[in-house]
Amino acid sequence: MINFELTDAQLALVAQAHEFARDVLRPAELELDRVADPEAVFTSKRFRDVVRETYRLGYHKMSFPTHMGGLGMDQVTIHLITEELLWGAPGIAQGIFVGGFVPFSAMMSGQSSLVREFAARYCEEGEVHFSALAGVEPHLGSDFLYVNENTTRLRTTARKVGDEYILNGSKAAFVSNGGIAGMLGVPACIEPERGMLGTGLFIIPGDLPGISRGKPLNKLGLRCLNQSEVYFEDVKVHKKYLAIRPRGENWRNFVHSFLCFGQVGVGSTAVALMRAAYEIAFAHAGERVQGGKPIIEHPNVGLKLFEAFSTIEAARNILLKGAWLNATQFPGDLAFTVAARAFACAHAPRVITEMIQVMGAYGISKESPIEKLYRDAKLTQIEDGTLDTVGLEAMRIMRESAASTSHAA
Ligand SMILES: Cc1cc2nc3c(=O)[nH]c(=O)nc-3n(C[C@H](O)[C@H](O)[C@H](O)COP(=O)(O)OP(=O)(O)OC[C@H]3O[C@@H](n4cnc5c(N)ncnc54)[C@H](O)[C@@H]3O)c2cc1C
Of 104, 142, 144, 180, the residue with max ligand 1 atoms within 8 A of its CB, to mutate for a pocket test, comes to: 142
Mean pLDDT on 226-232: 98
Task: For residue range 299-331, list pLDDT tens digits in order.
Answer: 999 999 999 999 999 999 999 999 999 988 877
- Mark 205-225 as b/e (b = at least 16 C-beta within 10 Å): ebeeeebebbebbeeebbbbb
* Per-residue pLDDT, 409: 63
Task: Give the distance (Å) from ligand 1 centre to CA of residue 222.
Answer: 16
Decide yes or no: CATH 3.90.1150.10 for domain 131-244.
no
DSSP secondary structure of 280-323: HHHHHHHH-EETTEEGGGSHHHHHHHHHHHHHHHHHHHHHHHHH
Closest CA to 57 of 33, 88, 101: 88
Closest CA to 304 of 348, 342, 352: 352
Residue with the smallest CA separation from ligand 1 atom 25 is 141
* Per-residue pLDDT, 250: 83
Task: For residue range 387-401, list pLDDT tens digits in order.
Answer: 999 999 899 989 988
The single-letter code of the amino acid at 96 is I
CB 70 within 8 Å of CB 103 = no
Q: State which fold the 8-123 domain adopts.
A: Butyryl-Coa Dehydrogenase, subunit A; domain 1 (1.10.540)
Q: Which CATH number fits domain 250-408: 1.20.140.10, 1.10.580.10, 3.40.367.20, 3.20.20.70?
A: 1.20.140.10
Q: Is the CB of 224 under 6 A from ligand 1?
A: no
Residue with the smallest CA separation from ligand 1 atom 3 is 383
Residue with the smallest CA separation from ligand 1 atom 48 is 386
Average pLDDT taken over every residue of the chain: 95
Domain locations along the chain: 8-123, 131-244, 250-408
Q: The whole model's pTM is what?
A: 0.96
Residue 361, C-beta contacts closer than 8 angstroms, at least 6 positions apart: none
**Using N-to-C axis directions, what is the helix angle for 299-328 and 250-287, rounded to 10°?**
150
Phi-psi region of 221 (alpha: psi -120 to 50; beta: other; left: phi over 0): beta
**Model confidence at 148, in pLDDT bands (50, 70, 90)?**
low
Q: Is the CB of 222 under 6 A from ligand 1?
A: yes
